Structures are given as structure tokens and as C-alpha cells.
Amino acid sequence: MLDHKQDLRFAPVANSAPKRLSAAQIDRYNTTGFVQPFDIFDGAEIRDIRGYIDRLMNDLGPNGAYGINCYQARLSGLYDIATDARILDHVEDLIGPDILCWASAILSKKPHDPKAVPWHQDASFWALSPARTVTVWLAIDDADEANSAMRFIPSTHDKGALPVAGTDGEANVFHKGTANAEAMGTPFTNTLHAGQMSMHADMLVHGSQANTSDRRRCGLTLRYCPPSVQITDPKWASGVEAILCRGDAGTWKTHPRPDNNDITKTSSPHVVGNN
């Protein structure tokens, strides 16, 4: 875990004129730390996106089998998904009109993948302050309990940094995770149909189990924050390639839409977590 004098407190959303979310949905986000599901891409669109994601993973070979991290400023296809107005309209209701996407990840669990992602709080691993990132989880495949959909521990997003403990390195993607997480509440399974998305707060405890099914579970995570968030560690900053999705970037350095869409002609600048 990083410690660069971060402010990891949750700030409840106050929005009297949301574009997409209802007052009840904003209240749910404030109360539980997440809100879902939202229909974003129709069947034909998500099939095209799935084909694109599959090509990226195939082009990287073994290195792309599980995760493809932070190419949003290096591949035009990912840039275009991250800046899609339908996603941004939902995000804007939670973080305001100035929107940066500072990270992304394609996370794919093959059928019968034995690895679990232990319970964890994302922002405790990041050199960002204050904790205001909203993570979009876009389902590339249908995601449910059987094929290892992400799980949340509701209402753990406003507790600050929680104690961590070691995990079984053989069975888990991370060697540490949130201690005694399930004692904090009943897990919620983030069931989504392909083309739907969820949004969750950056300090919400979440993770995923092994994929015991015959089906793949692939998702695209997109990390959005307002420009009031600042990077607290210059070394960490060197690996962040933010794109301005909407509004004003403030003091953030941002990158234009890339011309390249061939993953073999570039590389990932930074690795930011798994779900």
C-alpha cells in the first residue's frame, strides 16, 4: 500500500440536476459505494467491441491473456470507448463536468481460471488524493456468480483505509488483501449482461472469486476522476497517461487521441490493479 499523505475519505455526491442518474441511484452510490446496472452498448456494438478486445489479447499472446493495462492514450479504439458520451454522461453525474480517464484495464478470466482476486480497496494502492476516482466496469462478456463476476462489500467505501492481511499467494492474484472483509457485510455480486456497466467508488472493498464455469469473464475497467484529484508521488506520475474526456483538465498533463490502434506497435506505461 502507498502512503503519500493521501486523503482517502469519501465525499458524498451532491447533484441536484443529474443527466442520467436518478436521485435514488445517486443515494445508492453514496450509501453503498456502487450503482448498477446501466445499459450502454447494444448487442451489435458490444459484439464489435468484444471482437476488438479479442484481437488485442490475441496480438499480445500470453502477455495479454489476463490483463491489458492503461492503453487508453495509446490505442484509438480504447480511447474511443473511454470517451463515449453514454459512459461519460453517467460518470459526470458522480464527479462533475470535468472528466479525466487516467487508467484502464482489460481483465479476462478464462474458463476454470483458479485464481481469485482478494478483497481490496483500489485507492489504497494509488498515489492519488483526494479519493474521488469512479471506476466503470464495462461487461465485455456476460458476468455472473458462476463465471466470477466482481463482488462488492456494500458500504465499505466510507471507512477509510482498512487493515490488510497476507493472502495465499498460490490461490490469489494479490499477496495482500483487506482483512476480515466478509465480516463487514454480505457480498453483492456485480451481475451484468454484456454491454452493461457498473460504477463504484475507489475505496469500496471488492474482489472476485475463481472462475469455475465453462465461460470466460472479460471486462473493461475505466478509471475516471475530476481534475481536483492530484498525483502525490512523482515517480508514480511518470507511468500515468491521462486523457481529457470532457471539460477542463486543470493541472493534469493529458494526451490527444492516438493515431495508432495496433497494440504490437506500442506498450503499456503502467499497471494498475485487477478485479
pLDDT of 10 reads: 97
Please tell us whether the domain made up of 23-265 is placed in CATH 2.40.50.100.
no
Residue 269 has pLDDT above 90, yes or no: no
**Domain range list for the chain:** 23-265
Residue 2 has pLDDT above 60, yes or no: no
Q: Radius of gyration over alpha carbons of the chain, in Å?
A: 17
pLDDT band for position 141 (cuts 50, 70, 90) = very high
Mean pLDDT, rounded, for 46-72:
88
Residue 174 has pLDDT above 70, yes or no: no
- CA dist 152 and 149 (Å) reads 10
Cβ neighbours for 127, distance < 8 A, ≥ 6 positions apart? 2, 4, 6, 231, 232, 233, 236, 237
Residue 49 has pLDDT above 60, yes or no: yes
Confidence (pTM) = 0.94
β-partners of residue 189 are 151
pLDDT band for position 237 (cuts 50, 70, 90) = confident
pLDDT of 171 reads: 57
pLDDT of 166 reads: 79
pLDDT of 63 reads: 67
pLDDT of 158 reads: 97
- CA dist 215 and 236 (Å) reads 36
- Higher confidence at residue 85 or residue 239? 85
pLDDT band for position 1 (cuts 50, 70, 90) = very low
Closest listed residue to residue 57, CA positions, set 202, 203, 220, 231:
220
pLDDT band for position 238 (cuts 50, 70, 90) = confident
Residue 188 has pLDDT above 60, yes or no: yes
pLDDT band for position 115 (cuts 50, 70, 90) = confident
Please provide the average confidence, as pLDDT, over all residues in the chain: 92
- Higher confidence at residue 58 or residue 272? 58
Residue 194 has pLDDT above 90, yes or no: yes
pLDDT band for position 61 (cuts 50, 70, 90) = confident
DSSP letters along 219-244, please? EEEEEEE-TT-EE--HHHHTT--BEE
β-partners of residue 101 are 224, 243
pLDDT of 270 reads: 63
C-alpha cell at 208: 472476485
Residue 15 has pLDDT above 80, yes or no: yes
pLDDT of 17 reads: 94
Say if CB 210 and CB 156 are below 8 A apart.
Answer: no
Residue 164 has pLDDT above 90, yes or no: no
**CA 243 to centroid of chain Cα atoms:** 15
